[in-house]
Structure 1
Amino acid sequence: MITQLKKIFPSLIILTDIDQNLDSNFEWYLHDTNELIGIHKSELTSKDKGLLATFLEPYTHTFPLPTQKEKLWENRITNHSNMQLDANITYRFVYFSISNNQIDPISFKEALNELFAMDITILWENQQEGIIIEEQKKHAEEDISYEKIIDILMSDLYVKINFLVGPFREDLHLVKEHYENLLRSAKMSFSYTDKNVLSYVEVIPYILIDQIEASYKKEISKTILKDFATDQELLQTIEVFLESNLNISVAAKKLYMHRNSLQYRLDKFYEATGIDVRDFHQALTVYLALLANN
């Protein structure tokens, strides 16, 4: 095929290694042998480009050249092909999103490769978001800390990033649905929180509240929070208390507040609403009301 294309497009060149400074005068295509094929734009019509795209994958050189493992996972997810997984391996999907124009995909992957000390697997949705596929042996003792990764990326590269860490899975059953659900959940969940790292457990309340009609969200907020729905200072105090596992000492430290002052605010909310956020079940209701109020 390459020989025939060369006769039609004399400018055709083949690259076996990715180059971040690919000649912009060429259109680039990815061959199934993991080689890059370049054809000078002057030799291509719109019809030629459409025809080439039917059997070659147009390549945007801002993305890293996909590895064999990334191609394998792409096939597993989109085509349900090669559905075998090593019996001793588990995997999880980790969604990430990068602020627009802060770092290009090639540089981002290089930075992650250094942090992971290995060539990681990434499936890109676009230049700002994608899914990291993390594989490890079953019963491995140490998990990767995405909080630490974020600290390094933000301090060294000044990159703002979000992660949603999915659960470890042992098989590929409904892997496409799992992949799509994680993407959908992540995009929605980060609209409810300022956290940079979320676990799949933490997003369940966001998913539930997001499926409620807007009018019912307003009713929940009004019924539970009453006149405090617009009291941002008190709501932040309650939110920090809930996120501190109902621990007054921990919450007071985070809020730079004396324990008695925090206790006073919680009592104030209880006296006005009859709801005690120090009780787990009532706290859960207030937490959902806070989400509905956002």
Structure 2
Amino acid sequence: MSTNLAALFPSINLLTECPVNIKENVHIFHNEFNNTWMTVERKELTARDYALLTSLFKEIQPTLFSNDSISEKWIQFLLKSGPSPLKEDCDIRIIQLHLKTDDILKSDLNQAVQAYFNDAMQLIFISTHEAVLIEQKASYIHTFDDFSSFIVALESDFFLKVKIYIGKFHSTATLFSSHFIKEKEWFNKGLERNHAEQIYTMEKTFPINLIEQMSDEMKQVIRKEVLEPIEFDMELLQTVQLFFENGFNASVTAKKLHVHRNTLQYRLTKFQDITGISVRYFDGALVSYCASLIASEDEDKAHN
């Protein structure tokens, strides 16, 4: 595997001991199987590369952004089951931010969060590409649209490109780190498998996890009944996938595909004629959506 990784990432450095000094311009990963470490320059990793590596290896989190005591307490609480930094138990949720820009300035993101959320969110940097917003449950709960507008504001006003994962509320009195680590894992899978999304949730990443848990026998049934008849036509599969993800809204789906609505209708009809499955009904759409995810999974495996 190390030879393959070296071919993909020329800057990779394999180590038998964990490096003491963590540089700002590298990621450090721990291979727990053979107890070795590797460093890779951040500029060589795309979001997909990063998601893949973090799914295979444990990232050693740098503390260059977390030198203040409050940030360090939150990191200990979220990642290592440390005590809650809050004085009283309450319900909180974590909004994860994946930062696509290498030269992100902490002050810029702090300014953006303060301008948009005032004091409703606390920003904590975890690593050079990761930060979290901590939201306490209150009378007003920020919505999906709020976070969508926040992303637009980051891009237009601060030229920052981010993807986010909206977590669920849990009590700080519970084993909160286990909730966060699971959400972090789901976020990484979403980044790896569904690149087009900007906002991820449990609901959006659940189908990806469902496909991963599906038996090989069931996957083979879907390949035989859906994928083979359409000859793994990725254009058709992308069409039915977006039609499902956009709530069977033809206008929105056509807009996202950058095609005329008549073209969309033609593709959906063609898919039904070949497979006998109508994606206009939920049961047919669900099977077709699973087929599109299996095809993407097969394609990723073929390229790796």
TM-score by structure 1 length? Answer: 0.67
Partner of 2:199: 197
* Aligned counterparts of 2:191 and 2:241: Cα–Cα separation in 1: 16
Partner of 2:292: 290
Q: Structure 1 residues 258 and 82 mapped into 2: Cα distance closer, same or farther (>3 Å)?
A: closer
How far off its partner does 1:79 sit?
A: 4.0
How far off its partner does 1:165 sit?
A: 0.5
Q: CA RMSD in A?
A: 3.1
Partner of 1:140: 140
Q: Structure 1 residues 234 and 189 mapped into 2: Cα distance closer, same or farther (>3 Å)?
A: same
How far off its partner does 1:283 sit?
A: 0.8
Moved over 6 A (4+): 213-216
Partner of 1:234: 236
Partner of 1:150: 151
Q: Structure 1 residues 152 and 102 mapped into 2: Cα distance closer, same or farther (>3 Å)?
A: farther
Partner of 1:99: 100
Q: Structure 1 residues 171 and 79 mapped into 2: Cα distance closer, same or farther (>3 Å)?
A: closer
How far off its partner does 1:256 sit?
A: 4.9
* Aligned counterparts of 1:82 and 1:253: Cα–Cα separation in 2: 45
* Aligned counterparts of 1:66 and 1:122: Cα–Cα separation in 2: 12
Partner of 2:115: 114
1:251-289, Cα deviation, whole Å (9 max, x unpaired): 334445454443232121111111111110121111111
Q: Percent identity?
A: 27
Partner of 1:172: 173
1:112-167, Cα deviation, whole Å (9 max, x unpaired): 23322238434443210133221132x42554722111111122232221101011
SS of match in other structure, 1:159: coil
Partner of 1:185: 186
The one-letter code of the counterpart of 2:272 is Y
1:25-52, Cα deviation, whole Å (9 max, x unpaired): xx9xxxxxxxxxxxxxxxxxxxxxxxxx
Larger CA deviation: 247-256 vs 236-245 = 247-256
The one-letter code of the counterpart of 1:129 is E
User: Does the 8 Å CA contact 1:97/1:128 hold for their aligned counterparts?
Assistant: yes
Partner of 1:271: 273
* Aligned counterparts of 1:64 and 1:76: Cα–Cα separation in 2: 13
* Aligned counterparts of 1:150 and 1:246: Cα–Cα separation in 2: 25
* Aligned counterparts of 1:275 and 1:186: Cα–Cα separation in 2: 31
* Aligned counterparts of 2:81 and 2:262: Cα–Cα separation in 1: 59
**Structure 1 unaligned blocks of 5 or more:** 1-26, 28-59
How far off its partner does 1:208 sit?
A: 1.6
1:160 counterpart = 2:161? yes
User: Does the 8 Å CA contact 2:73/2:82 hold for their aligned counterparts?
Assistant: no
SS of match in other structure, 1:158: coil
* Aligned counterparts of 1:62 and 1:154: Cα–Cα separation in 2: 24
1:50-108, Cα deviation, whole Å (9 max, x unpaired): xxxxxxxxxx885254353x444345442442597746x43111111112514134433
**Structure 2 unaligned blocks of 5 or more:** 1-20, 22-61, 297-304
SS of match in other structure, 2:108: helix
